[in-house]
Structure 1
Amino acid sequence: MSHPTRRRPSPPLLAALLAAVAVVAQALLIPLFAAPAANLAPRDLPIVVAGPAPGTTELANRLAAAQPGAFEILVRPDAAAAERALHDREAYAAFVVGPAGPVLYTAPAASPTVASLLVQGAAELSGGRPPRVVEVVRADPDDPRGSGFGAGFLPLGMTSVAVAVLLSLLLPGRVARLAGLLAYGVLAGLGAVAVWQGWLGVLPGAYLADAAAVGLFALATAATVAGLGALLGRAGIGLGVLVAFLLGNALGAVNAAPELLPQPWGTVGRWLPIGAGADLIRSTAFFDGAAAARPLGLLAGYAIVGLLLVLVGRAAVIPRHTAR
């Protein structure tokens, strides 16, 4: 019994449909990337107020009244405790109350954008007078605005996604894909940090520690895409690209801070591979590993789950056609 042939859309209609889909995708991507960048402002941003009790209470009240909801204020007894909080990544900056007025302690290595915003805000609080600023944890002198650090995540994300897609489409064997992902993670870490440190000079820290952090980020991203592809086929690859790359780049706040993005997007971004990768690499490069446990565990989870899905998922994303 013959089956009726299915009519395909005519080429002009198909072209119009593809154009419409592209325009809809464009309309969704523009606000996804532009809206967070256009609405940067402190939202429960952790800062320290340090010094004698009467002065710290007054300053904390002034900060809360000037920008309600902007800051999560941590009180510390003195300047030394404030510096420890910045080194431990408990806060982005500290106002230390002294006889000559508050002194702003900053950690540009955690976020040059936050440090700049707080310097401007402190000047407004003091009637336009520039505050005295002490940089406790400095950004790399060759990259004071953090632009080189942030720009490196786009090619890292792109190559990680590309490797995952190519391995999923070209290698039918699970073990071969697994070996390819692991080899990529090791080589990506060693190669990217060699460029960041040896060539560009914009990433401090111990080479092997930074390479391990970058390699884990690259592996987590690639394994997520490959694992979803092994689980769901081509649709899984598309989902992995959306989660690990598009959403991650839009919400990762690599050049800012999660607390500057509208919520809940800042929080969501920290749980995606790019946001967690930025957190981990900053910790290893600038803070001697402080506050690395959360992003380290998160990236390890992405990598392990992705690799397990590759092992137990389908052997080939594009099924082989049997000969008739």
Structure 2
Amino acid sequence: MRRNALTLGVLIASAVVVGQALLIPLFAAPAANLEPRDLPIAVAGPPQVVAQLEAAHPGAFEVTTVADAVAADSRIKDRDVYGAILVTATGSEVHVASAAGPTVAQLLTQAAAGLGQAPPTDSPGMGSGIVPVRDVVPVDPDDPRGAGFVAGFLPLAITSLLAGVLVYLFVPRRAARLTALATFAALAGLAGAGILVGWLGILSGDYFAVAGVLALFALAMAGAMTGLAALIGRGGLALGAVVMFLVGNALSGIAAAPQLLPQPWGEVGQWLPIGAGGTLLRSVAYFGGSGGGFAVTVLSAYAIVGLLLVLIGRNGLVKKTREAPAAPAPELVGVPS
């Protein structure tokens, strides 16, 4: 008995170490290898500018040529590109959207530094001191580095995951599960938007639009968790937590941009709820919804499929216990007089 317990302890410790060995590179490798990979940008200037940019940064940018700064800014606001490099006879200029990712704005500024000389930028923290920088779509002044956006989104992912688990474990009936998931999503969206928009002021978008995004994300995460568990039992909870949270968080690109992650992992992350949710929240909060179509489709698919699985899946772990049949009364045996 003691030997079996010792063997079990060694196996558990070994399994945890194997999991650790897998999780460390999953999180550390993308963060340590952030660099542009086919990052969409616009360029306005002489034809040789594009060739010079591609020679200096091969494979880094997917370039769209535009006529002038007005066309470049329009592309940025529509989320067709992350920024623009404008080269004129007096030097180069960079137009960025820090709301799309402050890290991308810094990388674009560095890339433009070798294409021309100009006076230092007046935008503190945004420029390299070599080229002037214009922030076309800035982050909220209350979140100048964009860190609050990332930190504020992660708790919703955790609570949505937890809500999906709790609904499966403690709500036995299908109709009640659907009601609980819908109620959670609505309240999570309203409360989250109230904190991020109203209280902390991290997001500057419309309150109800942001609430709608957060509600859809919450429903996608929680609904998928409950649906997977309803379909295959407790294993569905483990599968959902690993794929949607651990893998999804590592590949989401929320802190930077999907195009800065090693590919194809940056693209894979946009097919998971956290990546799609972060992209949609940026689009709605800062860009009037532009560039959020694919993310809406992904989140809606997770929500709809999750709710369908709830309908066709098991009743769960909490079930009515059937009443045991009453034991027959013992027969009275007469005692002879």
Q: Please give the range of the TM-score, normalised by the shorter of the 2 chains.
A: over 0.9
* Residues in 1 aligned to 2:296 and 2:16: alpha-carbon distance in whole angstroms: 36
Equivalenced residue count is 314
Using a 3 Å threshold, how does the CA distance of structure 1 residues 323 and 26 change in structure 2: closer, same or farther? farther
Using a 3 Å threshold, how does the CA distance of structure 1 residues 139 and 97 change in structure 2: closer, same or farther? same
CA contact (8 A) 1:229 1:317 kept: no
1:63-142 aligned within 5 A: 63-126=53-116, 130-142=130-142
Cα distance, 1:118 vs. partner?
1.4
Secondary structure in 1 aligned to 2:14?
A: helix
CA contact (8 A) 2:221 2:273 kept: yes
* Residues in 2 aligned to 1:162 and 1:36: alpha-carbon distance in whole angstroms: 26
Summarize deviations over 1:43-76 as a string: whole Å, max 9, x none.
Answer: 000000024xxx1x11111110001100000011
Report whether the alignment pairs 1:12 with 2:2: no
Percent identity for Structure 1 against Structure 2: 52
Cα distance, 1:187 vs. partner?
0.5
Secondary structure in 1 aligned to 2:85?
A: strand
Question: Given residue 40 of structure 2, which amino acid in structure 1 is its aligned partner?
Answer: P
Shifted more, 93-102 versus 219-228: the winner is: 93-102
Secondary structure in 1 aligned to 2:100?
A: coil
Larger radius of gyration: 2
CA contact (8 A) 2:86 2:93 kept: yes
CA contact (8 A) 1:113 1:145 kept: no
Cα distance, 1:171 vs. partner?
1.2
- What's 2:21 paired with? 27
Shifted more, 41-50 versus 286-295: the winner is: 286-295
Secondary structure in 2 aligned to 1:10?
A: helix
Secondary structure in 1 aligned to 2:62?
A: strand
1:1-324 aligned within 5 A: 10-51=4-45, 55=46, 57-126=47-116, 130-317=130-317
Using a 3 Å threshold, how does the CA distance of structure 1 residues 288 and 9 change in structure 2: closer, same or farther? farther
Question: Given residue 210 of structure 2, which amino acid in structure 1 is its aligned partner?
Answer: D
- What's 2:121 paired with? none
Secondary structure in 2 aligned to 1:109?
A: helix
Cα distance, 1:126 vs. partner?
4.1
Cα distance, 1:306 vs. partner?
0.4
Q: What's the Cα RMSD here? A: 1.9
Summarize deviations over 1:89-112 as a string: whole Å, max 9, x none.
Answer: 000010122231221000100111
Runs of 4+ in 1 over 6 A off after TM superposition: 318-324
* Residues in 2 aligned to 1:13 and 1:43: alpha-carbon distance in whole angstroms: 47
Shifted more, 254-263 versus 110-119: the winner is: 110-119
Shifted more, 250-259 versus 223-232: the winner is: 223-232
* Residues in 1 aligned to 2:61 and 2:323: alpha-carbon distance in whole angstroms: 66
CA contact (8 A) 2:92 2:112 kept: no
- What's 2:334 paired with? none
What 5-or-longer segments of structure 1 have no aligned partner? 1-6
Secondary structure in 1 aligned to 2:99?
A: coil
Summarize deviations over 1:274-310 as a string: whole Å, max 9, x none.
Answer: 1100111111100011112111111111100000100
Q: State TM-score, norm by structure 2.
A: 0.89
Secondary structure in 1 aligned to 2:143?
A: coil
Using a 3 Å threshold, how does the CA distance of structure 1 residues 230 and 153 change in structure 2: closer, same or farther? same
* Residues in 2 aligned to 1:65 and 1:194: alpha-carbon distance in whole angstroms: 47
Shifted more, 116-125 versus 13-22: the winner is: 116-125
* Residues in 2 aligned to 1:239 and 1:32: alpha-carbon distance in whole angstroms: 16
Using a 3 Å threshold, how does the CA distance of structure 1 residues 160 and 119 change in structure 2: closer, same or farther? same
